[in-house]
Every structure is written in C-alpha cells, then in structure tokens.
A and B are shown apart, each in its own frame.
Chain A
Amino acid sequence: MRLAVVLLALAAAALLSWPAVREARRLPEGADAWKRDYFAILPRDLARMMATGESRVIVVDTREDAEYADYHIPFALRIPVRDIPGADLRDLKKADLVICYCVKDLRGFEAARLLQQRGVANAGLIDGFGIYAWESAGLPVAGIYSGLTDEEAMKRIRESLR
C-alpha cells in the first residue's frame, strides 16, 4: 500500500510537470508562436487606439476586485476568467479589438483563449504581458495607488501622446 501511494504521487507529479518541462525546453525559439492565433499589441499602440478612438477597443481586466481597485488600465472592464462562461459577450464580439490583461497575463491568456472559443475573434494580449508592461511603458493607471480616476488617467494618456 505504501509503495502504491508513493508511486501514484510520483506519477501525478510527473504528469503535472511534463507540460512545464516541455515548454521550458522549447524556449526561446517558440516564445512568440502564440502570436499566430492571438493579437499582440504594444502598450503605447493600445493607449493610442484607446485615446484616439480610431478603433473600437475593449480592454478586459481579468483580475480580482481588490486588484482592480488598487490599479487598472483606464476604462478596463472587469471580467474574471471564471465569469467568462456566463458573461454577456455581445459587446465584445462587436469590438475591433479585445485586449485581456492581468498582472503578467497568466490569467489574461486564459481569458483571451476562452473568449476566442466563444466567438470573440479579435481577442489578444498586451505585447510584453499584462499591466506590468503597461506601467513599464510609462503609461498611467487609474485606481487607489495612483489616485487617478479613469477620466484623469485617460487625459494624461492623451497629453503624453501629443
């Protein structure tokens, strides 16, 4: 019985680790292969599209309430990954571009994948990943940390793009 338990645990660990080891081994060559199927937009290009309204862009924040309240991309819609199956996606399907994000886009990618499966063809991620990439590009965030509202943060984006 002891041996069976230990062998089962080792088998479970091996099964769980196998995809992780495979993906580590295929890097760095395969790092950008996901861009074949998903949009990848640079933070400044996304900010310009949002500020000018040249395309209908919807930004989806997949993080939790507390994270969103702390800081978020201005006017981002909050839809956690677990709520996507039951969410009303009609507006998202009409958008030119739907960009999902979280901190490093671990959740963001799952959201983009689920949205694509549900007919939101133009789902993608921030190139550079997540709100980290947005902040690293020097773009303002709204929320408690910055003290800015969505409108104030968007105004700063417009000023920075002039």
Chain B
Amino acid sequence: MNARRLLALSAAITILGVPLTIFWARLEASPSFYLGDGFPPGQASYVMMRPAGHLAYCLLFLQIVLGLHGKRLARWMGLETLLPLHRALGFSTLGIMALHPLLFALASSLRTGKNKLWETFLPDPSAYYWAFYFFLGAIALYGTALAVAAAVWGPRWAPRAWRWIHGVNYLCLPVAWFHCRGTGNEVRDQPLEDVYGVMALAVVVMLGWRLRQAWKGSFGPPAGSPASPAPTA
C-alpha cells in the first residue's frame, strides 16, 4: 500500500474512531457491564444505539466526501476508481443508519413493554420534544435510502434524473447534525459538538461548490466564445 492510500485509510479510521473513543470514555463502564443483568430492560440497547449513531454520522460524512471527490481521491491515491468502495460504503452506511433507530425502538419497547417501532420510524414531529428531532433523523435515514435506491435503479429507470435524486444525500448530513444536536448526549459537549458541526458545514460548502460547478457547466459561455476558458490539451 502506498503512502497516500495509507494516509487516506488513516484519516478514515480517525474520523470513525475518535467519536467512538470519546463515547466509550464518557460512558465510564467496563465492556462487560452491558452483557450482564445489572440494568433495567432496554438499557443495553439504548447504550449501543449511541455508538451506532456516531458510526452512522461519520460513515455518512465519508460517503459524501467520496461521492463529491471520488475521482480526485482515486487519482491522488493512484487508483483507477473508487466507485466500488463508494457503492459498498453506501450500503454499509444505510445499514448502520437503520440500526441506530432500530436499537432505540428496541430499547423503548423493552423499557415500556409497548411496541415503539412505528413511533420511532414514523415519528410525529409535533408530538413531544423528542419527536421533532426523531423526525429529522427519519428524514436523514429515508433521504439516504432514496439516494441508494436512485444509484441502484436510477441509471436504468431515470437516466437523466437519478443523479439529482442521488444528490439528496448531501443534505442528509446537515439534517442529521440537527438530529444529533437535539437528541445526543456527548454530541452536545466538546469536542464532538464542534467536530460534527464542522463536518456538516464542510458538506454544505462542498455541496455549494458542486452546484456552482454544475451551474457553470449547464449555463456557462459556449466553447470557443471569448468568455469561455481556453481549451486544454
């Protein structure tokens, strides 16, 4: 593995590992505690839901960076393409994003003795304090599912429109940021508060840049006109 690929891999591991490490340090519990029985029903599911959320957020960030800069990164790393990685990471991200509310639904159901699956996956944003932020999380999850569906079936069924639908995923991270700011525990404390905020802001900036490029490509001056850039060899 060359140095650049190693650097890219290290960056990805750091982005994924740091929030999980902070979560574990803040938990102040031994690894085996939540495998025992010294806690009320649903507690282990609730505690495991939190690192699933951190993982989902960071995976979504990495996936969006790959989506926006995949070609550049591939060239920099001396690879032909990163598309297979982007596809695999897309499915993985969606899976972990779905696991996060599933674990919460299990925690709530075990704690209250009532089925909380529908309330978790189809939250009423006006119901109570948490429901609005759950609703934002649901938007991020379903937006990502839509993006994955667009990539899988779009090229065949909507060859022109599927990229725009797929691009909905860029908005999922800022929405997920509002979700975790409203519901998270360690996310509302330093340093994760700033780190996650910077990630969401970076995606918004990258998206703005990408839209500008698309605008220039669609509506820029025609090739050969004095205002158009000189052709490159």
Which of A33-41, A47-55, A88-96, A146-154 makes up part of the contact surface? A33-41
Q: Answer whether residue B197 sits at the interface, using C-beta atoms and an 8 A cutoff.
A: no
Within 8 A of A (CB), among B19-39: 26, 28-29, 34-35, 37-39
Q: Answer whether residue A6 sits at the interface, using C-beta atoms and an 8 A cutoff.
A: yes
Q: Answer whether residue B65 sits at the interface, using C-beta atoms and an 8 A cutoff.
A: no
For the complex, give the distance between the alpha carbons of A19 and B43 in Å. Answer: 10
Contact at B110–A24, with CB atoms within 8 Å?
yes
Highest count of chain A CB atoms <10 Å: which of B29, B34, B84, B111: B111
Which residue in B37, B47, B84 is a CB contact (below 8 Å) of A30?
B37
Contact at B88–A1, with CB atoms within 8 Å?
yes
**Chain B residues touching A, majority SS:** helix
Contact at A23–B45, with CB atoms within 8 Å?
yes
What's the interface size class on A, roughly?
Answer: 35 or more
Contact at B88–A106, with CB atoms within 8 Å?
no
Contact at A125–B96, with CB atoms within 8 Å?
no
Contact at A20–B38, with CB atoms within 8 Å?
no
Contact at B85–A5, with CB atoms within 8 Å?
yes
Within 8 A of B (CB), among A1-39: 1-3, 5-6, 8-10, 12-13, 16-20, 22-24, 26-27, 30-31, 33-34, 36-37
Contact at A23–B185, with CB atoms within 8 Å?
no
Supposing A19-B48, A129-B40 touch, asked if A24 and B106 sit within 8 A by C-beta, the answer is yes
Q: Answer whether residue B141 sits at the interface, using C-beta atoms and an 8 A cutoff.
A: no
What is the minimal beta-carbon distance from B197 to any residue of chain A, in angstroms? 16
Supposing A17-B103, A19-B34, A81-B185 touch, asked if A5 and B45 sit within 8 A by C-beta, the answer is no
**Chain A residues touching B, majority SS:** helix
Contact at B47–A19, with CB atoms within 8 Å?
yes
Supposing A19-B35, A20-B103, A33-B38 touch, asked if A109 and B95 sit within 8 A by C-beta, the answer is no
B residues in contact with A82, CB < 8 Å: 26, 185-186, 188-189
Interface 0/1 of A61-103, CB less than 8 Å to B = 0001011001000000000111001000000000000000001
A residues in contact with B96, CB < 8 Å: 9, 12-13
Contacts between the two chains (Cβ within 8 Å), count: 118
Contact at B37–A26, with CB atoms within 8 Å?
yes
B residues in contact with A46, CB < 8 Å: none
Task: Name the CB-closest residue of A to B46.
Answer: A106
Q: Answer whether residue B154 sits at the interface, using C-beta atoms and an 8 A cutoff.
A: no
Contact at A27–B87, with CB atoms within 8 Å?
no
Contact at B89–A5, with CB atoms within 8 Å?
yes
A residues in contact with B112, CB < 8 Å: 104, 129, 132
Contact at B103–A37, with CB atoms within 8 Å?
no
What is the minimal beta-carbon distance from B65 to any residue of chain A, in angstroms? 15
Which residue in A19, A31, A85, A125 is a CB contact (below 8 Å) of B44?
A19
B residues in contact with A12, CB < 8 Å: 55, 96
Contact at B95–A27, with CB atoms within 8 Å?
no
Which residue in A2, A17, A106, A132 is a CB contact (below 8 Å) of B43?
A106
Interface residues of B (CB under 8 A from A): 26, 28-29, 34-35, 37-48, 51-52, 55, 84-85, 87-89, 91-92, 95-96, 99, 103, 106-108, 110-112, 129-130, 185-186, 188-189
